[in-house]
Amino acid sequence: MLTDWARSWTKKLRMAIARALGFLGFSPNGLTILGYLVHLPVMYVLATGRLQLGGVLVALAGLIDTLDGALARETGQDSQFGAFLDSVSDRYSEGTVLFGLFLWYLSTGARLELALIFIALLGSVMVSYARARAEALGFECRVGLLTRLERVSLVVVGLVVQRVQLMLWAMAIFTNVTAIERIYHVWRHSRRA
C-alpha cells in the first residue's frame, strides 16, 4: 500500500519538521485546522479554472496534512480527539478540493464531469465510512486500492498533467471499488468471528 511506504520513507523528515513546529509553538490540533484552511484557497483556484496550479497547491496542502500526527507524537500531545479531528478534517479537505472542481465544471456546463465528481465524492466518503464503522465494530479495515494518499496523489497528477476527466473516471470507479473491497473484507472476517 502506497500509504505505508510513504509513511516509512518520509518518517525522519516529518519528525524533524514536527520538532521544529513544536519548538515554534504549533499545536497538533491547530495544525490540523490550518491544514484544512489552506484547502480553501485551493478550492478558489480550482473554481476559477486554474487546474494545473490547483494541482500543485493540492500537493502542498497535502504535505501540511501529513504533519499534525507527527507533531502530536513528537510533542506527546496525541489524543483521541486529535485523531478524530484529523479524520474529519481530511474528509472536509477532500470535499473542498472536489467542490472547487465542481464549481469550475458547473460554470462550463460540463455534465459528465459533474456526475463523476459526485460519484467520486460518494465513493471517497464510503471508503472512509467503511473503515470507521468496521473499526467501531472491532475489525481492522485498512485494505483497498484507493486510500486517502492514493486519492490525493491521483488528484494532483490528474490536475498537473491536465488529464482531469481521466482522473475523475478513475476516482469515480476506484473509490467505489475500494469501498466494496472493505465491505467484502469485513463480511469475510465477520464470518470467521
Q: Catalytic site residues?
A: 90
Positive or negative, the CA dihedral 61, 65, 70, 71 is: positive
C-alpha cell at 41: 484557497
**Amino acid found at 128:** S
For the chain, how long is the longest CA-to-CA vector? 51
CA angle 74, 77, 80 (to 5 degrees): 125
Contacts of residue 136, Cβ cutoff 8 Å, sequence gap at least 6: none
Contacts of residue 148, Cβ cutoff 8 Å, sequence gap at least 6: 3, 90, 94, 128
Torsion of CA 65, 70, 73, 74, to 10 degrees: -130
Alpha-carbon distance of 95 to 102, in angstroms, equals: 10
Contacts of residue 7, Cβ cutoff 8 Å, sequence gap at least 6: none
